[in-house]
Amino acid sequence: MKILSWNIRQGGGRRLPSIAAAIAGHQPDVVIINELRERTGRGLTEALCRAGLSFAVHNEPTGLEYGILVASRDPLRRLAASKPSTIVRRSLLEVELSDEFTIGALYGPMVTPQHREFWDAVVDHAGHYRDRSYLLIGDFNTGEARVDCYKSPFAGSAQFLRLRDLGYCDLWRKHNRGPTEHTWFSFGRGGAPLNGFRIDHALATPALAQRATQCWYSHAERERRLSDHSIMLVELSTR
Protein backbone atom coordinates (compact mmCIF):
# COMPACT_ATOMS: atom_id res chain seq x y z
CA MET A 1 0.00 0.00 0.00
CA LYS A 2 1.34 3.41 -1.01
CA ILE A 3 0.36 6.55 0.94
CA LEU A 4 0.97 10.04 -0.45
CA SER A 5 0.90 13.21 1.64
CA TRP A 6 1.16 16.71 0.15
CA ASN A 7 0.52 20.32 1.05
CA ILE A 8 -0.73 21.69 -2.27
CA ARG A 9 -0.42 25.39 -1.28
CA GLN A 10 -3.50 27.53 -1.01
CA GLY A 11 -5.93 25.04 -2.50
CA GLY A 12 -4.05 24.57 -5.75
CA GLY A 13 -5.81 27.25 -7.79
CA ARG A 14 -4.88 27.10 -11.49
CA ARG A 15 -2.27 24.47 -10.66
CA LEU A 16 -4.99 21.97 -9.76
CA PRO A 17 -4.97 19.92 -13.02
CA SER A 18 -1.19 19.56 -12.82
CA ILE A 19 -1.42 18.72 -9.11
CA ALA A 20 -3.99 16.00 -9.78
CA ALA A 21 -1.86 14.59 -12.62
CA ALA A 22 1.24 14.55 -10.40
CA ILE A 23 -0.63 12.68 -7.68
CA ALA A 24 -2.02 10.14 -10.15
CA GLY A 25 1.47 9.61 -11.54
CA HIS A 26 2.61 8.21 -8.20
CA GLN A 27 -0.29 5.70 -8.22
CA PRO A 28 -1.06 6.00 -4.49
CA ASP A 29 -3.66 3.97 -2.62
CA VAL A 30 -4.27 6.72 -0.06
CA VAL A 31 -3.80 10.48 -0.42
CA ILE A 32 -3.62 13.11 2.31
CA ILE A 33 -3.96 16.72 1.15
CA ASN A 34 -3.14 19.77 3.25
CA GLU A 35 -4.36 23.31 2.46
CA LEU A 36 -7.55 22.16 0.81
CA ARG A 37 -9.88 25.07 0.09
CA GLU A 38 -13.62 25.21 -0.38
CA ARG A 39 -13.50 26.58 -3.94
CA THR A 40 -11.15 23.88 -5.26
CA GLY A 41 -12.07 20.95 -3.00
CA ARG A 42 -14.76 19.53 -5.22
CA GLY A 43 -12.62 19.66 -8.35
CA LEU A 44 -9.72 17.92 -6.64
CA THR A 45 -11.97 15.25 -5.13
CA GLU A 46 -13.46 14.52 -8.56
CA ALA A 47 -10.00 14.34 -10.16
CA LEU A 48 -8.81 11.90 -7.49
CA CYS A 49 -11.94 9.82 -8.02
CA ARG A 50 -11.12 9.56 -11.73
CA ALA A 51 -7.68 8.29 -10.67
CA GLY A 52 -9.31 5.49 -8.70
CA LEU A 53 -9.37 7.15 -5.28
CA SER A 54 -13.13 7.01 -5.08
CA PHE A 55 -13.59 7.21 -1.28
CA ALA A 56 -12.91 10.64 0.20
CA VAL A 57 -13.61 12.73 3.29
CA HIS A 58 -12.53 16.24 4.24
CA ASN A 59 -13.12 18.58 7.15
CA GLU A 60 -15.23 21.16 5.33
CA PRO A 61 -13.09 24.30 5.02
CA THR A 62 -15.09 27.41 4.20
CA GLY A 63 -14.01 30.62 2.51
CA LEU A 64 -10.25 31.05 2.77
CA GLU A 65 -9.86 28.43 5.50
CA TYR A 66 -7.43 25.58 4.97
CA GLY A 67 -8.68 22.04 5.39
CA ILE A 68 -7.55 18.44 5.08
CA LEU A 69 -8.68 15.83 2.55
CA VAL A 70 -8.14 12.07 2.76
CA ALA A 71 -8.92 10.00 -0.35
CA SER A 72 -8.55 6.25 -0.75
CA ARG A 73 -9.10 3.34 -3.12
CA ASP A 74 -10.74 1.44 -0.26
CA PRO A 75 -13.58 2.47 2.05
CA LEU A 76 -12.72 4.71 4.96
CA ARG A 77 -14.63 6.04 7.94
CA ARG A 78 -14.23 9.48 9.42
CA LEU A 79 -13.82 9.58 13.20
CA ALA A 80 -15.26 12.19 15.53
CA ALA A 81 -13.21 15.33 16.04
CA SER A 82 -10.65 15.01 18.82
CA LYS A 83 -9.30 17.64 21.23
CA PRO A 84 -6.53 19.05 18.98
CA SER A 85 -9.20 20.08 16.45
CA THR A 86 -11.13 21.94 19.13
CA ILE A 87 -8.02 24.00 19.91
CA VAL A 88 -7.01 24.74 16.29
CA ARG A 89 -9.86 24.26 13.82
CA ARG A 90 -9.44 21.78 10.97
CA SER A 91 -5.98 20.75 12.19
CA LEU A 92 -6.51 16.99 12.55
CA LEU A 93 -8.72 14.72 10.46
CA GLU A 94 -8.81 11.09 11.57
CA VAL A 95 -10.07 8.19 9.49
CA GLU A 96 -10.17 4.44 9.83
CA LEU A 97 -9.04 2.78 6.63
CA SER A 98 -11.19 -0.32 6.32
CA ASP A 99 -9.90 -2.61 9.08
CA GLU A 100 -6.25 -1.80 8.38
CA PHE A 101 -5.27 1.12 10.63
CA THR A 102 -6.13 4.66 11.66
CA ILE A 103 -4.73 7.72 9.93
CA GLY A 104 -4.36 11.02 11.75
CA ALA A 105 -4.01 13.54 8.90
CA LEU A 106 -2.39 16.56 10.50
CA TYR A 107 -1.93 20.19 9.48
CA GLY A 108 0.19 21.80 12.17
CA PRO A 109 -0.44 25.48 12.91
CA MET A 110 1.99 28.32 12.53
CA VAL A 111 2.93 29.91 15.84
CA THR A 112 -0.20 31.26 17.56
CA PRO A 113 -1.22 31.70 21.21
CA GLN A 114 -2.75 28.18 20.99
CA HIS A 115 0.42 26.58 19.58
CA ARG A 116 1.75 24.95 22.77
CA GLU A 117 -1.72 23.88 23.91
CA PHE A 118 -2.38 22.31 20.51
CA TRP A 119 0.85 20.32 20.42
CA ASP A 120 0.45 19.17 24.01
CA ALA A 121 -3.03 17.91 23.06
CA VAL A 122 -1.60 16.09 20.02
CA VAL A 123 0.94 14.31 22.22
CA ASP A 124 -1.72 13.35 24.73
CA HIS A 125 -4.08 12.15 22.00
CA ALA A 126 -1.37 10.18 20.22
CA GLY A 127 -0.56 8.46 23.49
CA HIS A 128 -3.97 6.78 23.44
CA TYR A 129 -3.08 5.11 20.12
CA ARG A 130 0.50 3.99 20.78
CA ASP A 131 -0.44 0.33 21.26
CA ARG A 132 -2.50 0.28 18.06
CA SER A 133 -1.80 0.75 14.35
CA TYR A 134 -1.84 4.52 13.90
CA LEU A 135 -0.17 6.86 11.42
CA LEU A 136 0.20 10.58 12.15
CA ILE A 137 1.05 12.19 8.82
CA GLY A 138 1.00 15.55 7.06
CA ASP A 139 2.49 19.03 7.16
CA PHE A 140 3.45 19.40 10.82
CA ASN A 141 5.01 22.86 10.37
CA THR A 142 7.59 21.71 12.92
CA GLY A 143 10.31 19.12 13.38
CA GLU A 144 13.46 18.53 15.41
CA ALA A 145 15.32 21.77 16.09
CA ARG A 146 18.83 21.96 14.58
CA VAL A 147 18.22 18.68 12.77
CA ASP A 148 15.21 19.18 10.53
CA CYS A 149 15.97 22.89 10.24
CA TYR A 150 18.60 25.42 11.24
CA LYS A 151 16.48 26.94 14.00
CA SER A 152 16.78 26.44 17.73
CA PRO A 153 14.45 26.82 19.46
CA PHE A 154 11.85 25.67 16.93
CA ALA A 155 8.22 25.95 18.08
CA GLY A 156 6.71 22.48 18.46
CA SER A 157 10.07 20.70 18.46
CA ALA A 158 9.79 19.62 22.10
CA GLN A 159 6.43 17.96 21.45
CA PHE A 160 7.74 16.38 18.24
CA LEU A 161 10.45 14.72 20.32
CA ARG A 162 7.88 13.67 22.93
CA LEU A 163 5.95 11.83 20.22
CA ARG A 164 9.10 9.87 19.46
CA ASP A 165 9.59 9.23 23.17
CA LEU A 166 6.10 7.68 23.19
CA GLY A 167 7.42 5.11 20.70
CA TYR A 168 6.30 6.78 17.47
CA CYS A 169 8.72 6.05 14.64
CA ASP A 170 9.80 8.83 12.27
CA LEU A 171 9.49 6.74 9.12
CA TRP A 172 11.69 8.94 6.96
CA ARG A 173 14.52 8.81 9.52
CA LYS A 174 14.11 5.03 9.81
CA HIS A 175 14.58 4.50 6.07
CA ASN A 176 17.06 7.29 5.25
CA ARG A 177 20.46 7.52 6.92
CA GLY A 178 21.83 10.34 4.80
CA PRO A 179 21.64 14.09 5.37
CA THR A 180 18.31 15.79 6.01
CA GLU A 181 16.17 16.39 2.94
CA HIS A 182 14.23 19.62 3.18
CA THR A 183 10.58 19.70 2.13
CA TRP A 184 9.98 23.46 2.29
CA PHE A 185 12.22 26.50 1.88
CA SER A 186 11.99 30.11 2.90
CA PHE A 187 12.69 32.45 0.01
CA GLY A 188 14.64 35.63 -0.45
CA ARG A 189 14.78 38.35 -3.10
CA GLY A 190 13.83 37.14 -6.56
CA GLY A 191 12.53 33.84 -5.21
CA ALA A 192 15.96 32.48 -4.31
CA PRO A 193 15.68 29.65 -1.74
CA LEU A 194 17.16 30.50 1.65
CA ASN A 195 16.65 28.18 4.59
CA GLY A 196 15.38 24.60 4.29
CA PHE A 197 12.99 22.85 6.66
CA ARG A 198 11.87 19.21 6.90
CA ILE A 199 8.35 19.77 8.19
CA ASP A 200 6.38 17.06 6.35
CA HIS A 201 6.40 13.90 8.45
CA ALA A 202 4.98 10.43 8.91
CA LEU A 203 5.10 9.10 12.48
CA ALA A 204 3.89 5.54 13.05
CA THR A 205 3.23 3.50 16.15
CA PRO A 206 5.45 0.42 16.58
CA ALA A 207 2.69 -1.91 15.38
CA LEU A 208 2.43 -0.01 12.10
CA ALA A 209 6.09 0.97 11.71
CA GLN A 210 7.06 -2.67 11.32
CA ARG A 211 4.96 -2.76 8.14
CA ALA A 212 6.69 0.28 6.61
CA THR A 213 9.05 -0.82 3.84
CA GLN A 214 9.92 2.59 2.37
CA CYS A 215 9.49 6.29 3.11
CA TRP A 216 10.76 8.99 0.78
CA TYR A 217 10.20 12.46 -0.61
CA SER A 218 9.51 13.44 -4.18
CA HIS A 219 11.00 16.91 -4.67
CA ALA A 220 10.34 17.22 -8.39
CA GLU A 221 6.87 18.69 -7.90
CA ARG A 222 8.19 21.39 -5.56
CA GLU A 223 11.04 22.14 -7.94
CA ARG A 224 8.47 22.56 -10.74
CA ARG A 225 6.56 24.91 -8.38
CA LEU A 226 3.37 22.88 -8.40
CA SER A 227 3.51 23.57 -4.66
CA ASP A 228 5.98 24.98 -2.18
CA HIS A 229 6.13 21.58 -0.44
CA SER A 230 7.65 18.29 -1.53
CA ILE A 231 5.49 15.16 -1.63
CA MET A 232 5.94 12.52 1.08
CA LEU A 233 5.41 8.85 0.18
CA VAL A 234 5.13 5.85 2.50
CA GLU A 235 5.01 2.20 1.41
CA LEU A 236 3.38 -0.35 3.74
CA SER A 237 3.41 -4.13 3.36
CA THR A 238 0.17 -6.06 3.61
CA ARG A 239 -0.57 -7.73 6.93
In the DSSP assignment, the letter for residue 53 is: -
- The DSSP element (H or E) to which 39 belongs, if any, is helix 38-50
Residue numbers of the domain that contains 7: 2-236
The pTM for the full model equals 0.96
Using alpha carbons only, how large is the chain's radius of gyration in Å?
A: 16
Which CATH number covers residue 74?
A: 3.60.10.10
Q: CB neighbours (10 Å) of residue 175?
A: 15
Mean pLDDT of 173-196: 87
CA angle 45, 36, 119 (to 5 degrees): 130
Q: How many domains, the chain?
A: 1
Q: How far apart are CA 74 and CA 98, in angstroms?
A: 7
pLDDT in tens, 93-138: 999 998 789 999 999 999 988 999 999 999 999 999 999 999 999 9
